[in-house]
Chains A and B, each alone.
Chain A
Amino acid sequence: MNNPDNMLNIALPKGRLGEKVLAMFEKAGFECPAIHETGRKLIFENPEKGVRYFWVKPSDVSIYVERGAADIGVAGKDILLEYRPDVYELLDLGIGVCRMAVAAKKDFRDDTARTLRVATKFSNITKNYYASMGREIDIIHLNGSIEIAPILGLSDVIVDIVETGTTLKENNLEVVETVVPISARLIANKSSFKFKNSIIEAVSAGIAQQLARTEENK
């Protein structure tokens, strides 16, 4: 297990969600004491268990996994739908639950005779969603503060992630319809799945067990 090539590389999303995910991996029997020490290190190993963890920007996890720099990782379904990486999606972790939704100003009336102007960070999801309804749209790609677009008249509606809806409410916006429910998924590189199969299956089974238990307790 000491050969670095044989270690399982795991990309974790930085932030609160990542901490939860790490706890799941540790509970599955793949703990890594080094990761809890304070410092500026970016990569943490536990050679005994054969795992190597690293934190990356949540939206980058799927890139690391698709290109094989990480063997497995945890990414939001929003990212998987937007970038469509060629990976295995092994588990729905049931955390980071939210939804992709269309939102508009409270007094918004949809004029179907006109092209709908949609501001979003998620261009592909938006394109596919409206294409499935045959609606013509004008996509305005923004990188943040999407909520401001309808208020300033930049767009008619927005497509964005809605967790509690508080931000929308404070800006006098409301959800018009849900596009797709979102949660965190365990993903695996297709090639790694063949060559590190037993450890990937073990991690996946260990986490699946925890999910089944929480499901029972519901």
Chain B
Amino acid sequence: MDLCESVFKYEERAVYELRSLYRRYGYLPYKMSKFEEYDLYVRNKDFLISDNIITFTDTDGKLMALKPDVTLSIIKNTGDTAGGVHKVCYDENVYRITKGAGGFRELMQVGLECIGDIDSYGIYEVLMLAAESLSRISEEYVLDISHLGILSEIIDASGVSESTKGELLKKIGEKNMHEIDALCNAEGCDPSAIKKLVSLYGAPSEVLPEIKGMLTGDSGDEFNEFESILMLLCKNGYKDNIRIDFSVVNDMNYYNGVVFKGFVRGIASGVLSGGQYDKLMQKMGRSACAIGFAVYMDMLERFNTGADEYDVDAMLLYDDGCDINALSDAVKLFSAGGKSVMVQKVIPDKIKYKQLLKINERGVEILENNE
């Protein structure tokens, strides 16, 4: 295939790069239908980022939905294999309401899911691929990693009631120390351990020893696994880009264990989000474990905007009396050299070109050079 680089928009190129990255680690492409039975989403509404869904009635009277999410469909359609792991990757459009759009939008999402017998290596591999994905988008990236098992041990130890937990998690997500204080004090609980955990932010080598000192209960095994995975990531060259941050929280009804969020410099919100979701699997009647993440490609749209300064490489002007044989030869010459050329009689408004050329009896003359 003959493709010139400039035809790719930044986010389109990123899609191909990520897809080939996942393929290299044995993740098989997963293609799904745009539609899914609405029922699937109703049962797991809280798992979705936004619970507004586009629905329609199929010819057989079934209520269908334009999929707002990919993970649920993948879980539904992959069977269990004893001891094995399904590794799939996807690039799919999803349909949901986003802040500021004032309605539904079609959003491109690229990601991967691992379903099956997930062990330390499985978690490591997914985290490593998340970090790699971010590095393909920008050199300046940060992968924030948290562990819900450790967080929930600290929350449980504080004695906060079940009904306050949801509100408390929200405050933890905002790093909102003063309101964590207020919530705990209202119930007569001690907020200091929660506040300390949430205020820890930094490289694993700095933060892990501090967490270790805080744990007394039964999350010891989870901590050891978490530690060994993070140290392996550090050893393999990601130490400057991964940060422990317990303010990364996902709904504890669906997620457990490791959860993470990725950021790149210059994009105001997270571009990657993922985690272990064994609890969602259980809710869907499955015994297997699962972990995965998604990259939100729509966030990349405004990234790297300076790239296309010119609309075309060359603007080629001709007159009425021009020989069309000579014209077509000139155009052929340009495109063979991999350059883009626009043929016009008069220069259209607001088109930026590197070179302005004119064809006449003597051949092609350069009138203007903007490079």
Contact = CB atoms under 8 A, between A and B. Distances in A.
A190 B268 CA distance: 7
B63 interface: no
A91 B180 CA distance: 11
B24 to A, nearest CB: 27
Contact of A191 (B176, B243, B267): B267
A171 B190 CA distance: 44
B91 interface: no
Contacts, number: 46
Nearest to B178: A92
Contacts of A67: 268
A195 interface: yes
Nearest to A183: B178
Contacts of A190: 263, 268-270
Q: Is the interface of B mostly helix, strand, loop or mixed?
A: loop
Determine the main DSSP class of A at the interface with B: mixed
A192 B265 CA distance: 8
Interface residues of A, number: 17
Interface residues of B, number: 20
A90 interface: yes
Interface string B73-111: 000000000000000000000000001000000000000
Contacts of B206: none
Contacts of A88: 174-176, 247
Contact of B144 (A90, A189, A194): A194
B368 interface: no
B270 A191 contact: yes
B174 A195 contact: no
A195 B140 contact: yes
13 contacts: A67-B268, A68-B267, A68-B268, A87-B174, A88-B174, A89-B174, A89-B176, A91-B178, A92-B178, A190-B263, A191-B264, A192-B268, A195-B265
Closest 6 CB pairs of A and B: A68-B268, A92-B178, A194-B142, A89-B176, A88-B175, A89-B174
Given A88-B175, A192-B268, A194-B243, 17 more contacts: A66-B269, A67-B268, A86-B269, A87-B174, A88-B176, A89-B174, A89-B179, A91-B177, A91-B178, A189-B268, A191-B267, A191-B268, A191-B270, A194-B142, A194-B263, A195-B142, A197-B201
